[in-house]
Amino acid sequence: GDVPIGIHDLSVATTQYVLTHRTLADRNGTDVGKYHKGIGLMSMSVPAADEDIVTMAATAAAPVVARHGADRIRTIVFATETSVDQSKAAGIHVHSLLSLPSAARVVELKQACYGGTAALQFALGVVHRNPAEQVLVIASDVSKYEMGEPGEATQGAAAVAMLVSAEPALVRVDEPSGVFTADITDFWRPNYRTTALVDGHESIAAYLQALEGAWKDYTERDGRKLDELSAICYHQPFTKMAYKAHRHLLQHCGHDVDEAEVTRAVGHTTGYNAVIGNSYTASLYLGLAALLDNSADLTGRSVGFLSYGSGSVAEFFAGTVMPGYRSHLRSEAHREAISRRLDIDYARYRAIHEHSFPVDGGDHFVPRETTGPYRFAGLSGHKRIYER
């Protein structure tokens, strides 16, 4: 189709609390340089007991709906790998909290961290079919590993809400996409576990293999050349992964690995992920938010996207930054969402990490902790209760 379709609005939300890697390092005896320089993380977002993927999602989506209205939104696609119910889509809670029209379809998508891109592609298809419609795409996750495991330092939590429409104000999503799937168990979470399992070093190798595969398919479909891309947003389980991935792609394409060139391509995409940690499905789009909010004018430039979800699925595609995009950004609100978080000490972090609700079907209400606009009020009769 000729009508440009893409990301019309982009809004980020995160949690009430933040744990610095300095605090974690002091406690577990790790040299903080491993965190700050080795994996490229400064702090991680930690949800309060009355926050979860739904409250973050509603917080991210509310300003989007406030700005554009909901008249054209007939589809809400919620991507997550840390869902709150095996059956009901988390997006229905968001639909309710934001009083969206009943004439809407709501669905949840899952394939590890790739789910956000699956949701975006789903949305592009819906808008392509009827360019008068808009789709609300939400990616929201809380990353949780066992304490003391290597993954612990890469935890985090955030949501991204994107409005996908024709004539987008921010980024047009271009054809083609390069896709790749391999059956591998590098990172996974069985239904009976609240924390993820991972073979850390194998997962990095799997990511790089999937990047190669998606890039191969992308180039075979006549995608852009590497030097035509002003920046690349990579999925960032930790920010150094973006650097690793870009070095790998340069080598794979037969280019010299010039560190200044690597920094130019990915440096502006890491600002939010470095202080939020891994937000799984949202991570790639936090990379886009940081790039748009914090780099020099990108009007007309091509930006690459590499989405990776363990298991594994990857997709490489490009977008074009639209003229006038800067007046539609939410840079100030994003900085505020990050800076408003309250620092917690190790004991508080540990208590939050160990907390779980009884699963007996009784009434279990949580005292108010979050100062955000939406909260998870607790469980009653096995039902989740949310309130404004």
Please count the residues of this chain forming the interface with ligand CAA, following the rule CB under 6 A. Answer: 26
What are residue 111's phi and psi, to 5 degrees?
-160, 75
8, 93, 95, 235: the catalytic one is 235
The stretch near ligand CAA (CB under 6 A) out of 43-51, 158-166, 235-243, 329-337 is: 235-243
- Binding-site positions for (3S)-3-hydroxy-3-methylglutaryl-CoA read 31, 145, 244, 278
> In sequence order, what are the residues at sequence separation of 6 or more whose Cβ sits closer than 8 angstroms to the Cβ of residue 345?
23
Q: Which of 17, 215, 308, 374 binds ligand CAA (CB under 6 A)?
A: 308
Cis amide bond preceding 312, omega within 30: yes
Residues 169-198 interacting with ligand CAA (rule: CB under 6 A): 187, 198
- Is-catalytic flag, 235? yes
In degrees to the nearest 10, what's the CA dihedral of 193, 196, 200, 206? 100
| Residue closer to ligand CAA, measured from CB, 49 or 153 | 153
Is residue 304 involved in binding ligand CAA (CB under 6 A)? no
- Is-catalytic flag, 95? no
Q: Which of 207, 215, 285, 349 binds ligand CAA (CB under 6 A)?
A: 207
The stretch near ligand CAA (CB under 6 A) out of 32-40, 89-97, 294-302, 344-352 is: 32-40
- Taking the C-alpha atoms of residue 49 and residue 223, their distance in angstroms, rounded to an integer, is 45
In DSSP terms, which residues pair with 18 in a beta bridge? 45, 343
Cβ atoms of 63 and 330 closer than 8 Å: yes
State the nearest-atom distance from the C-beta of 93 to ligand CAA, in Å.
Answer: 24
- The DSSP secondary structure of 282-302, one letter per residue, reads GHHHHHHHHHHHHSS--TT-E
Q: Which of 12, 113, 123, 292 binds ligand CAA (CB under 6 A)?
A: 113
Is residue 82 involved in binding ligand CAA (CB under 6 A)? no
Q: Which of 61, 62, 138, 153 binds ligand CAA (CB under 6 A)?
A: 153
Tokens encoding 371:
């100062």
Compute the chain's Rg from CA coordinates. 20
Contact track, ligand CAA, 342-381, x by CB under 6 A: ----------------------------------------
- Taking the C-alpha atoms of residue 14 and residue 4, their distance in angstroms, rounded to an integer, is 30
- Taking the C-alpha atoms of residue 229 and residue 147, their distance in angstroms, rounded to an integer, is 39
State the nearest-atom distance from the C-beta of 206 to ligand CAA, in Å.
Answer: 7
Question: What is the set of active-site residues?
Answer: 81, 113, 235
* Contacting positions for ligand CAA (CB under 6 A): 31, 33-34, 37-39, 113, 150-151, 153-154, 187, 198, 200-201, 203-204, 207, 235, 237-238, 241, 278, 280, 308, 310
